Amino acid sequence: MPDDETQTPTLNRGTAARPPHDTRAPLLPGTAEAPAPWLLRLIAVGLVLAALNLRPAITSLGALLEEVREGLHMSGSVAGVLTSVPPLCFAVFGVMAPRLARRFGAGAVVCAGMAAIAAGLLIRPYIGSTAGFLAASALALMGIAVSNILMPVIVKRWFPDRVGTMTGLYSMALALGTALAAAVTVPVTGALGGDWRTGLVVWAVLAAVAVLPWIVLVRDRTPAPGQPAPGPATAHAAGAPALRITRSRTAWSLACFFGLQATAAYITMGWMPQIFRDAGVSAGTAGLLLAVTMAMGVPLAFVIPRVASRLKQQGPIVVVLGLCGLIGYSGLYLAPAAGAWAWALLLGVANCAFPLALTMIGMRTRSGAGVVRLSAFAQSTGYLLSIPGPLLVGVLYQHSGGWGLPIALMAGLMIPQMVAGVLAGRDRTIEDEC
């Protein structure tokens, strides 16, 4: 496939004539004018800040899970339910994102999502009950869910000729936020007096900052470059693929791949620090190990989408990432403390299946409407499939008295993940199959 930086996007074919050396985005007759450069820069900043907030709600909790369990008197099974809440919320609320974006605008929905994250993180540590903690977490996760879905949509709409680069940029920011929360939550908690509630609530500040760039776009209803003006025909065209995307084997393969990588990611974020702590590693070091795992995504989340966008088939990347996961889980089973840093690095590489999945969402479609539907379908269905994983790990841990069975489960799931990823990575689009 041609370089995503140089190829002419499908949406921009047949553009109106331009004066020589005009570098603005090409237009279709009847579509909106190209956005001002400052607006594109603002959207890029907003994407980065939003991405920074898409995981701290989860990894900060993983670093302090033992303290939260003791403070709220949770059993292992209940803690397993807690680690399953993120994918559940992503599945339930994610399906709402396309409809909300069509009605209110993607910028307004992301702005509301960042506000929901800030509110949920602010109130959840101080509610004082497990049910209240779960409800406040769900509020924050609702904001994350709609933003998750709209990230590839915004990239495809506003940066159609830079899908790989912009996907890599916000994926890198997402990985940075994930790693930062894992690394500093425990030391920040200690520095602020040792109360786990304080250690969790500080992340509400970052979410509040992320609201600011999106305020400018709250009232914006202007179609993005290459998008037709709103109207009945547009609404019909946007809604039609929803009834047919389930006929696409590529869409189902991508949903399964997304769900299996999400299962691995949320098990890792929710339980890996506890695995290391039970192996004799200190709480601070366990948090750093999780941070190392998440930090691997910072450079790789930028590199992998660019490499993937240059390949006709992404199957080889899928296999390499899966093998890293198998080796990492095997080491975690055999020598969790002795080789802790090596296993953290390998599992960090394996977790980079996430930016790869996002990149494939953009590559498996030919239209803006297609990417909206595929993003919603693949992510919502994928997160729905990932719900049992973290819960099952908690149940196996509590009833087996150790980590042998849970780690064996994690390793075993790498096999179907590789199969689904190879199928999803074939050079085809959902429009050809629906």
What are the phi and psi torsion angles at 130 (to 5°)? -65, -40
How far apart, in whole angstroms, are the C-alpha atoms of residue 434 and residue 422? 20
Look at residue 387 in the predicted model and tell me its pLDDT: 82
Look at residue 334 in the predicted model and tell me its pLDDT: 92
Look at residue 236 in the predicted model and tell me its pLDDT: 44
pLDDT at 16 exceeding the cut of 70: no
Mean pLDDT in residue range 228-233: 44
Residue 290 near residue 182 (C-beta atoms within 8 A): yes
pLDDT band per the 50, 70, 90 thresholds, residue 299: confident
Q: Taking the CA atoms of the chain, what radius of gyration do you get in angstroms?
A: 21
pLDDT band per the 50, 70, 90 thresholds, residue 92: confident
pLDDT tens string 63-90: 787 788 887 877 766 776 777 777 788 8
pLDDT tens string 94-125: 888 888 888 888 888 999 999 999 999 999 98
Closest CA to 253 of 314, 166, 163: 314
pLDDT at 353 exceeding the cut of 90: yes
Model-level pTM?
Answer: 0.70
How far apart, in whole angstroms, are the C-alpha atoms of residue 287 and residue 269? 10
More confident: 3 or 311: 311
Write the DSSP string, 73-114.
Answer: T--HHHHHHHHHHHHHHHHHHHTTHHHHHHHH-HHHHHHHHH
Look at residue 48 in the predicted model and tell me its pLDDT: 93
Write the DSSP string, 276-335.
Answer: HHHTT--HHHHHHHHHHHHHTHHHHHHHHHHHHHT-S--HHHHHHHHHHHHHHHHHHHH-
**Residue 6's CB: how many other CB atoms inside 10 A?**
7
419: Cβ contacts below 8 Å, ≥ 6 apart: none
pLDDT at 126 exceeding the cut of 70: yes
Look at residue 153 in the predicted model and tell me its pLDDT: 77
Name residue, tokens 């290459």: 226
Closest CA to 5 of 180, 163, 224, 228: 163
Among the ranges 112-121, 209-218, 398-407, which has the highest mean pLDDT value? Answer: 112-121
Percent share of the chain, pLDDT over 90? 30
Q: Among 5-19, 40-54, 113-127, 365-379, name the one with the lowest average pLDDT.
A: 5-19
Mean pLDDT in residue range 219-240: 47
Look at residue 77 in the predicted model and tell me its pLDDT: 66
Look at residue 33 in the predicted model and tell me its pLDDT: 60
- Locate 174 and state its tokens: 């997402």
Mean pLDDT in residue range 314-326: 96
Mean pLDDT in residue range 314-323: 96
pLDDT at 346 exceeding the cut of 80: yes
Q: What's the distance, CA 257 to chain centroid? A: 13
Burial of 71 (0-12, 13-18, 19+ CB in 10 A): middle
Residue 305 near residue 167 (C-beta atoms within 8 A): yes
Look at residue 192 in the predicted model and tell me its pLDDT: 85
pLDDT tens string 132-168: 888 898 899 999 989 988 887 788 777 877 777 787 7
pLDDT tens string 263-279: 998 888 778 888 998 99
Look at residue 406 in the predicted model and tell me its pLDDT: 92
Write the DSSP string, 33-75.
Answer: PPPPHHHHHHHHHHHHHHHHTSSHHHHHHHHTHHHHHHHHT--
Mean pLDDT in residue range 20-40: 52
Mean pLDDT in residue range 371-400: 85
Handedness of CA 155, 147, 365, 170 (dihedral sign): positive
Strand partners, 219: none
How far apart, in whole angstroms, are the C-alpha atoms of residue 364 and residue 126? 44
Look at residue 230 in the predicted model and tell me its pLDDT: 42
Look at residue 400 in the predicted model and tell me its pLDDT: 86
Q: What is the DSSP letter of 303?
A: H
Look at residue 203 in the predicted model and tell me its pLDDT: 94
Mean confidence (pLDDT) of the chain:
81
Q: What's the distance, CA 407 to chain centroid? A: 23
Look at residue 193 in the predicted model and tell me its pLDDT: 84
